Structure 1
Amino acid sequence: MTRLTPIAVEKPWGRTSLPAPFDRMRGRRIGEIWFPGPEGQRLPLLIKYLFTSEKLSVQVHPSDAQAIALGLPAGKEECWYILDAKPGARLGIGVRTRLSKARLREAALSGEIETLMQWHLAEPGMLFHIPPGTIHAIGADISLIEIQQNIDVTYRLYDYGRPRELHLAEGVDVADPSPYPPSRQTSVDPSRSAILLHAEHFTLAHITGDDMSFIPRDACLYIAPIEGRIRIGGKAISAGECALAASNAEIDLRDCARALVAWS
């Protein structure tokens, strides 16, 4: 097992007070906690925690093909697992009716895009798949875990008047301004181990108890406990940590633990 070192990232929409076990990180407006690979090693996937006090920008990510055409190494596919959310907190994913590229640009410039988006209630235990091209925005008062391709490529379409750069040309070009299919959203049963998502670039599972028969025997696993303490090859990690482990490692969840596990 390799324990990944967290990196705190300040964001204008972040929080000055975080929930445990990150509550020691005070005095800065922390929006994200990243778990990158060991020094000098770039992993295919990146695990993040996000903590919002304000709405994030309306944004979109390119696909691999679109990114490579722009001279980038890869696009960005991701998913969100909701840890906590205030009642009424929402996620903007997709648009209510399909838009033309010209209409999307017009709506982004005017700010109307916020009212044209689909807004979904965010509740603990929900999982949302965000393929490349999906127009999306995370709302305020949400804590979540994000699993994504390990590349920092984001095109902002609208940012509520904040003084940050927008990327209208690039964003409109790669966006798929369509409604969000209900099949990309699910609720996770905390008592059951199961594969949650077979995405193009990664698979995500929820594990608890002792059923891990669906995990491949030749993969590098990204393990993020969300409750309790997990022992991997005799070493323990707890909620708020993240580790890499070989899929043949001994994984012990007897301490009433459960975790998200991803592999590419």
Structure 2
Amino acid sequence: MLYPLKFNPILKEMIWGGKKIPQKLNVDVDEDVKIGENFAVSGLKSDQSVVNNGPLAGKNMMELIETYKGDFLGTKVYQQFGSNFPLLIKYIDANDDLSIQVHPNDEQAKIKHNSFGKTEMWYVVDAEANSGLVSGFSKQTSAEEFEQYHSSGKLMELMQKHPTAAGDTFFIPAGKVHSIGAGNLIAEIQQTSDITYRIYDFDRRDKFGNPRELHHELAMDAMNFSDNESGKVEYTAKDNESVNVAACQYFTTNVLNVSGVVNKDYSQLDSFVILMNVGGKCTIKSADATIELNEMEATLVPAAIKGLEIAADETAKLLEVYIEG
């Protein structure tokens, strides 16, 4: 019964969003709507992904987990998370700068929000000329020095800025200050959490003329003031080989460039696998089903599926995401 699953997009209107995501997905939205994110695979209670292909079409994430348990998530993943899907898989279109922000760790999020924390990573799908982002402080600092920069209007001088190009990858643990800059199209893998503490929002106002809420005290508690690491991951992609770009307790992510046909053996993996298409298009075959995966789409391969054939007429770029036991 289980096969590679695709889901209805969950589009999020954002003040900093644009038009790239609905255009890539061929989805119509009103002209004045700015789409910032697509939750491509989500188990958030408020945003449950719903299957749109095959016999399970119409089933949501929680129903899938409750029905198939370890066959869906992996035995160890199900034992750890139960009916809570552990990852949130997004595509982000930053038509304008996102706020300077930080996320809490598991302990802080549990106490304050009864939630998971938010460690994440970014893969730059595309970047316009002169695009960049913020990741980490420009130097090791302290709460007192941070407050001085913040109150004097010089906060951006304390931020570590990076130019961006397609293929750039950044690991963003909880506690790291960060912001995605205008012109970036990003694939994001993160813990299942929607908790963001805004530190600075460039004095913007929403479409109703109101400033967005800032979370200064919460952010001060969450920030790692000694983190002046860039978070950028150096790697060399290889055709038809999985190249690791992130490995932490929450997720493992590989870059997989497909040229022609590649066969994937997941017999030693006790986890679901998510494949995010970040360039080109491909066909994915399991024993019982075949799907097409276009750019900016994602598929979830249930843990019970232990082998895939992935084929690209030309080339395709995938992110391969799972949880290692």
TM over 0.5: yes
- Which secondary structure state, in structure 2, belongs to the residue aligned with residue 107 of structure 1? helix
2:103 alignment partner in structure 1? 61
Counterpart CA distance in 2 for 1:183 and 1:139 is 16
2:37 alignment partner in structure 1? 32
Per the normalisation by structure 2, the TM-score is 0.75
Q: Residue 183 and residue 79 in structure 1: after superposition, are their counterparts in 2 closer, same or farther (change >3 A)?
A: closer
1:222 alignment partner in structure 2? 274
Counterpart CA distance in 2 for 1:216 and 1:21 is 34
Q: CA deviation at 1:236?
A: 2.3
1:253 alignment partner in structure 2? 311
Q: In the alignment, is residue 12 of structure 1 matched against residue 15 of structure 2?
A: yes
Residues 78 and 149, structure 1, Cα contact 8 Å, conserved in 2: yes
Segments of 4+ moved more than 6 angstroms: none
Q: CA deviation at 1:108?
A: 3.1
Query: Per residue, is there more helix in 1 or in 2?
Result: 2
Counterpart CA distance in 2 for 1:88 and 1:66 is 36
Q: In the alignment, is residue 232 of structure 1 matched against residue 285 of structure 2?
A: yes
User: Equivalent of 1:166, from 214, 220, 224?
Assistant: 214
- Which secondary structure state, in structure 2, belongs to the residue aligned with residue 172 of structure 1? helix
- Which secondary structure state, in structure 2, belongs to the residue aligned with residue 129 of structure 1? strand
User: Equivalent of 1:195, from 244, 257, 263?
Assistant: 244
Q: Residue 190 and residue 6 in structure 1: after superposition, are their counterparts in 2 closer, same or farther (change >3 A)?
A: farther
Residues 109 and 158, structure 1, Cα contact 8 Å, conserved in 2: no
1:21 alignment partner in structure 2? 24
Unaligned stretches of 5+ residues in structure 1: none
Unaligned stretches of 5+ residues in structure 2: 43-48, 51-59, 63-83, 205-210
Q: In the alignment, is residue 181 of structure 1 matched against residue 229 of structure 2?
A: yes
Residues 66 and 174, structure 1, Cα contact 8 Å, conserved in 2: yes
Moved more, 10-19 or 72-81: 10-19
Q: Residue 144 and residue 215 in structure 1: after superposition, are their counterparts in 2 closer, same or farther (change >3 A)?
A: farther
Q: CA deviation at 1:23?
A: 5.1
Residues 80 and 129, structure 1, Cα contact 8 Å, conserved in 2: yes
1:89 alignment partner in structure 2? 131
Counterpart CA distance in 1 for 2:130 and 2:199 is 24
- Identity, % of aligned pairs? 29
- Superposition CA RMSD, Å: 2.2
Residues 76 and 151, structure 1, Cα contact 8 Å, conserved in 2: yes
Per the normalisation by structure 1, the TM-score is 0.91
Q: In the alignment, is residue 118 of structure 1 matched against residue 160 of structure 2?
A: yes
Q: CA deviation at 1:84?
A: 0.8
User: Which residue identity is paired with 1:243?
Assistant: T
Moved more, 231-240 or 7-16: 231-240
User: Which residue identity is paired with 1:237?
Assistant: L
Counterpart CA distance in 1 for 2:151 and 2:22 is 36
Q: CA deviation at 1:157?
A: 0.7
How many residue pairs get aligned? The number is: 264
Q: Residue 145 and residue 183 in structure 1: after superposition, are their counterparts in 2 closer, same or farther (change >3 A)?
A: closer
User: Which residue identity is paired with 2:299?
Assistant: A
Pick the structure with greater CA Rg.
2
